[in-house]
Amino acid sequence: MSAVNPTADPVVVVGGGVVGLCTAYYLAAAGLPVEVVERRRIGSGVSRGNAGWVCLSHSTPVPAPGVVRYALRSLGRPDSPLYLRPLPDPAFVRWLWRFWRSSTRAAFRRGYAAIAELNRDTFGLFDGLREAGVDTTLTRPGMVHAFLSPAEARHHLAIQREMADGLYPVPDDITTGAEAHLLDEALSPAVRAAYLVQGRASWTRRRSRVPSVRHWPRLV
């Protein structure tokens, strides 16, 4: 990076979602003048409507072996966790073909490794934001992974163990039946198996506020 010149024209960040705001924050923290341009309200995009998880154990890429079969089974079920809306368009078929070709074990491992590497400093960075005055509301309750069948739970736990690769603790086995419901009382009665990934999994509550932050960009 070239030397910082605080008298230069401002860096303009387009979009006041979590990505734009973090970019702007760290640019400002580095001493650069920054302006954020937002067409609606700050934090009104997808950053407002997500689940709030900050969670390495949940960072698996979507393209994975078997995912196209899973998606095809969900055709006609828009409430499926992964739903493809079929379009009578050769472009859709081409996309599906390419997606299927990318859903290999090797591509999945590469994708996960890239995400894990990106996430390595995440919790430290959240601590830094808190020290700077941002109320991130970050807590670390762990994450319960819940399944409709023990077989599915074991399959996912095996993937999880392989992916964790020492980065975060993974339980030895799944929990089934009534015991699974002790992990989280909010689980649906349909859940038959679950496991808890402790420690690294974290989440933020929606109600976050930004009081006296040391370095803050200008919002336009």
Position of tokens 């990106």? 118
Site stretch for ligand FAD (CB under 6 A), options 18-26, 100-108, 116-124, 165-173: 18-26
Phi–psi pair at 27, nearest 5 degrees: -65, -45
Q: Closest distance between ligand FAD and the C-beta of residue 144, in Å?
A: 14
Distance CA 85, CA 77 (A): 9
If one asks whether residue 17 binds ligand FAD (CB under 6 A), the answer comes out as yes
- Give least dist CB 18 to ligand FAD, A: 5
Q: Among residues 33, 52, 63, 150, which is the contact residue for ligand FAD, using CB under 6 A? A: 52
| 53 binds ligand FAD per the rule CB under 6 A | yes
* 45 lies in the binding site for ligand FAD (CB under 6 A): yes
Which element (helix H / strand E) includes 95?
helix 90-102
For 83, the 3-state DSSP assignment is: coil
**57 vs 192 by CB, closer to ligand FAD:** 57
Q: Rule CB under 6 A: say whether 20 interacts with ligand FAD.
A: yes
Candidate residues 4, 30, 31, 37; the one interacting with ligand FAD per rule CB under 6 A:
37
Cα separation of 181 and 204, whole Å?
Answer: 23
Residue of 124, 123, 200, 121 whose CA lies nearest to 164: 200
CA angle 121/163/101 to nearest 5° reads: 110
| HSE value, Cβ hemisphere, 13 Å, CA-based, for 115 | 17
| Closer by beta carbon to ligand FAD, 143 or else 170 | 143
Q: How far is the CB of 172 from ligand FAD (least distance, A)?
A: 26
What is the binding site for ligand FAD (CB under 6 A)? 14-20, 37-40, 44-47, 49-53
